[in-house]
Structure 1
C-alpha cells in the first residue's frame, strides 16, 4: 500500500444499481454480503445512510456505506455516543482484491468521518470473516463484546475511537 494512492467517494445513484447488483452477485461478495437486492430510490434518499462508489485512478471498484447508528431504535450500536457512525463495505471488482485497497480506502473514509466529528466508528463483520476482522484491527478497531445475533445476522461488534 502506498501513501500516494488516492481514493474518491461519490454518492451512489440509481444509475449505479446495475453495477452494485453485479458486484453483489460475485461469489467473493456473496460470501459475506447477505443481500443480493440492489437499493431502491427510497434507500438512496434515506438520510440515515450515505452510500458510496469507491474509485481509484478513475476505476470504480468498491461499495461503502456509513450510517448513523441511532437511525434504528433497536440497532445494536444505538448505545454509542451521539454522532457515532457505522460502516460496511466490500470490494466488488475481484481484480482489486488482495492489493491493499480495502485497508486504504476504509482508512480514508474513517479519517473523513472522524474529521466530521464522529466520536466512534462501529462495524460488525461476521465472526468467521477473519480477513475483515484482521483489516479492522489493523485500522484500530477492537472487538466490543462477543459475537451476537442481530436482525442483520450474526456479527462481531467492533469499535474504533478518535
Structure 2
C-alpha cells in the first residue's frame, strides 16, 4: 500500500525567484542561508542539482535541493560512495517553523532519494544551527567528523544511510 504524499515538491522555475528572494531575506533564513544571489536560468537547469519548492495543501512554504556530491571539485563529501546525494533546505514561511514540517518533508524526500538508489545522504548544517542538527538526528543522520571550514562556510558533516 502506498501512502499519499503530504507534500508537493515541484521544480523551481524562474517565476519562483521573487518568492525565494523574499524568503532568503527573512531573518530566520538569513541566519543560516547566506546566499542572496538570485538563481539564473543556467543554475535552475543544472542537472547536478534538483531544486524544489515544497508546498503543503497547495501552499508553498519551503525550498529544498539535493545534488550529486561528486560533481564539484574538492567537495567535502567526495569521499562518499558514488550516487551519494547532498541535501540543503530552509523553511521560508516563518509561520511553518516549529510545527513538524521540516522533519516531515525532509524525511519524505530522503525516502525518495533512498528508493532511487542513493547509498548515503549527506548534509552539512552550520555547527551552531542546533534546530537543524536536531531535525537531522531525528531523521537518522549522524555527525561524520568534526566541524570544518569549507568553500561554502563552516559545516558539521552529517550522514544518513538507508
Counterpart CA distance in 2 for 1:45 and 1:114 is: 23
- Cα distance in 1 for partners of 2:111, 2:4 equals 16
For structure 2, list consecutive stretches of 5 or more residues without a partner in the other structure. none
- 1: CA distance, partners of 2:160 / 2:18: 32
CA RMSD of aligned residues (A): 1.1
Helix, strand or coil: the match of 2:70? Answer: coil
Q: CA deviation at 1:111?
A: 0.2
- Listed as ranges, the gaps of 5+ residues in structure 1 are none
Residue 37 (structure 1) shift: 1.2
Provide the C-alpha distance between the structure 1 equivalents of 2:97 and 2:134, rounded to a whole number of angstroms: 15
Further displaced range: 36-45 or 46-55: 36-45
CA deviation after TM superposition for structure 1 residue 149, in Å: 0.1
Q: Whole-Å Cα distance in 1 between the matches of residues 73 and 81 of structure 2?
A: 14
- Work out whether residues 5 and 56 of structure 1, in 8 Å CA contact, stay in contact via their aligned partners in 2: no
Provide the TM-score with structure 2 as the length reference.
0.97
State how far apart, in whole Å, the 2-side matches of 1:21 and 1:72 are: 25
Deviation above 4 Å: which 4+ runs of structure 1? none
